[in-house]
Amino acid sequence: MSGLSEDEDRGVALMLAFQAGDDQAFDHIVAEYEGLVFGTLRRLLGPSGWVEEMAQETFIRLYRVRERYSPASKLSTFLCRIAYNLALNRIRDEKRRPSGGLRVGPEGEEMVVADAGERLAPEDDADASDWAGLVERGLQELPENQRAALVFQHYDGLGLAEIGEVLGISPKAAKSLLHRARENLREYLQPYKDAEQD
């Protein structure tokens, strides 16, 4: 999708106004899109102390591209791309650190983190009836690109072309990625469904 006019997307209109010198337009962008950015980052990063910092950084980066911004897609897609890249970098940084034990959060505080791959048994999970929580945990078990594709489609409402744009893949590849993600999430949730039926 290229050459979107400001009439086609309110976010584009706000960003073009900001680019033209209307600083209040940026405040409107933050107010209108902070829910999208926070939600996306929370689902991509999971229970992490980094969500707020990454959300702020997303808007800082948008602010910095003011002069170079070109409305090639919806502003929501553009923001998802920034948030995804920041989240991916954070996830990769975390993977380089030893798993488990204490980690340092964004404010320098110590955070206890479970070992990677640690998973509660369905019969031991007190929240087994909380499907929203199980889906959130299942999302964290997926590879980053699969998790992102599901988040962008089901929570952010992006279409295949937009998901492909954010992830740097074709719409056809995005469709395939979504299929794999759904299958993997279904596989993660199946033991909980089985335990619920017993």
**Structural domain tally of the chain?**
2
Query: Is 119's pLDDT higher than 50?
Result: no
**How far, in Å, CA of 160 to CA of 163, rounded?**
5
CB neighbour list of residue 23: distance below 8 Å, 6 or more residues apart: none
pLDDT digits (tens, 9 = 90+) for 134-169: 888 899 899 999 999 999 999 898 999 999 999 999
CATH code assigned at 174 = 1.10.10.10
CB neighbour list of residue 63: distance below 8 Å, 6 or more residues apart: 26
Query: What pTM was computed for the model?
Result: 0.74
Same domain, residue pair 81 and 144: no
Same domain, residue pair 9 and 31: yes
Among the three residues 70, 91, 116, which one is the final residue of a domain in this structure? Answer: 116
pLDDT digits (tens, 9 = 90+) for 23-47: 999 999 999 999 999 999 999 998 7
pLDDT digits (tens, 9 = 90+) for 163-196: 999 999 999 999 999 999 999 999 998 888 877 7
Among the three residues 56, 83, 116, which one is the final residue of a domain in this structure? Answer: 116
Please report where in the chains the tokens 């107010």 appear, as a residue.
Answer: 31
Q: Where are the alpha helices (DSSP H) in 3-130?
A: 10-19, 23-45, 51-64, 75-96
Q: Is residue 198 part of a domain?
A: no
Are the CB atoms for 110 and 102 separated by under 8 Å?
A: yes
Instruction: List C-alpha distances in Å: 136 to 7, 14, 63.
Output: 35, 32, 30
pLDDT band at 107 (very low <50, low <70, confident <90, very high): low
CATH code assigned at 30 = 1.10.1740.10
Same domain, residue pair 107 and 158: no
Q: How far is CA 42 from the centre of its chain?
A: 7
Q: Which of 6-15, 50-59, 75-84, 111-120 has the lowest mean pLDDT?
A: 111-120
pLDDT band at 62 (very low <50, low <70, confident <90, very high): very high
pLDDT band at 78 (very low <50, low <70, confident <90, very high): very high
Q: Where are the alpha helices (DSSP H) in 116-170?
A: 131-141, 144-150, 160-167
Phi and psi, residue 112, nearest 5°: -85, 130
Are the CB atoms for 166 and 159 separated by under 8 Å?
A: no
Same domain, residue pair 13 and 111: yes
**How far, in Å, CA of 156 to CA of 153, rounded?**
6
pLDDT at 92: 85
Same domain, residue pair 68 and 123: no
Among the three residues 116, 145, 174, which one is the final residue of a domain in this structure? Answer: 116
Question: Which candidate, 60, 43, 63, places its Cα nearest to that of 51?
Answer: 43
Q: Is residue 82 part of a domain?
A: yes
pLDDT digits (tens, 9 = 90+) for 4-26: 554 468 999 999 999 999 999 99
